[in-house]
Structure 1
Amino acid sequence: MLQLALATLRPRRAVPGRDLLDPSVTHLRVGLGDLDLYRHVNNGVYLQYMDIGRSNYLADLGAFGRLAAHRWYPVVAASTMKYRRSLTLGERFTVTTRVLGWDARVVYLEQVIERGGLLVARGWVAGRFLSRAGERVAPTDVVAAIGEADRESPELPEDVAAWACAVDVAHR
């Protein structure tokens, strides 16, 4: 939780020349509070690791100030996870976050957690942005605010598009 607070309240510096579709890599280490009774990372903690990865993705783009100027903030509309391996105390790992595309309602991201080059977990996230007044912000407006005004979304991978329809987050 402290890592997430730091990543959000004191974001890392923007990466010059970072493109919206470039992956963002976050390096983390498993802490004692991340473990469950079975001494491996609790499934809910993976979602917090992904939150940190998404905050760092926005920081890499230099987006925090731009979003704050509009009084917009990100929320998760849906997510799904697949776990392949466990993480245990002290292990170092990475969370790689990348945008797969967007539609009129949400932005679709893939987040991959790896340890030593081995896949630990993979998640898809459908995220949206809200204004402080509680109104939904169109992803195209967010993309424009980040500085990519005329950018069109890449075509979503078929399996992600099918998932978006199945969990009812896709644009209708």
Structure 2
Amino acid sequence: MYPYLRYTKAIIDAVVANKKGKSLNFTQVSEVMIRCSLTDIDPMIEMNNGRVLTVYDIGRTDFIIRTGLGKQLFKHRWGMVVAGSTIQYRKRIRLFDKVTIKTQLVGIDERWLYLDHSMWVKGKPCSSVLLRTGVTEGGKVIETARVLEALGQTEWNKPTEPWIQAWIEGDKEHRWPPMG
């Protein structure tokens, strides 16, 4: 089941943080704390790999709200889509572990915003996911120039690092399963 209560709390916390002057700009890292709960675990009593991606939604939402992007999404009736991801797991997250989710913008091109999420327990990285995300209007991804203009950051630029660029290029070669 989707963690609606935890997600709602994250939205409220991000809105309150903005009101208290704790907003972020696109160069800053968002940090959200959660605790691994009974609804997060698998039979090995650790956070399920599918739940990891779901919990990253909480970090992404905090980042979106605190950078002001959420306000623009609402104002322009835009949406946000994840169009690609790659994840790495390094350390297990056990039941009741206190987890810090870090989110940062690591690249931008003419169409996509690239976000890096990571989960940390006791100062050690547990997993990391790189996401290709886009802002949508009417079901279609819009140019990032429009998004930056809405945010008043038309001069802002964040070229992708070489490892991200390699992932982008490699993804273009992705072979889709044959139909039939």
Question: TM-score w.r.t. structure 1 length?
Answer: 0.89
Corresponding residue of 1:163? 167
- Report the identity percentage: 25
Question: Retained in 2: the 8 A contact 1:95–1:112?
Answer: yes
Corresponding residue of 1:84? 90
Q: After the TM superposition, which segments of 4 or more aligned residues of structure 1 sit over 3 Å from their partners?
A: 5-8
Corresponding residue of 1:150? 155
> What amino acid maps onto 1:141 in structure 2?
R
Cα distance in 2 for residues equivalent to 1:7 and 1:92: 15
Mind listing any 5+ residue stretches in structure 1 that lack a counterpart?
none
Question: Retained in 2: the 8 A contact 1:11–1:59?
Answer: no
Cα distance in 2 for residues equivalent to 1:128 and 1:17: 21
Q: Which stretch shows the higher mean deviation, 15-24 or 139-148?
A: 15-24
How many Å apart are 1:17 and its aligned residue? 5.8
Aligned partner of residue 87 in structure 1, secondary structure? coil
Mind listing any 5+ residue stretches in structure 2 that lack a counterpart?
174-180
> What amino acid maps onto 1:4 in structure 2?
Y
* Structure with max Cα Rg: 2
Question: Retained in 2: the 8 A contact 1:11–1:55?
Answer: no
Structure 1 residues 16, 33: CA separation in 2 closer, same or farther (over 3 Å shift)? Answer: closer
Matched, 1:4 2:22: no
Cα distance in 2 for residues equivalent to 1:24 and 1:98: 6
Question: TM-score w.r.t. structure 2 length?
Answer: 0.85
> What amino acid maps onto 1:60 in structure 2?
R
Aligned partner of residue 88 in structure 1, secondary structure? coil
How many Å apart are 1:139 and its aligned residue? 1.5
Match of 2:108 among 94, 98, 102: 102
Q: CA RMSD, aligned part only?
A: 1.8
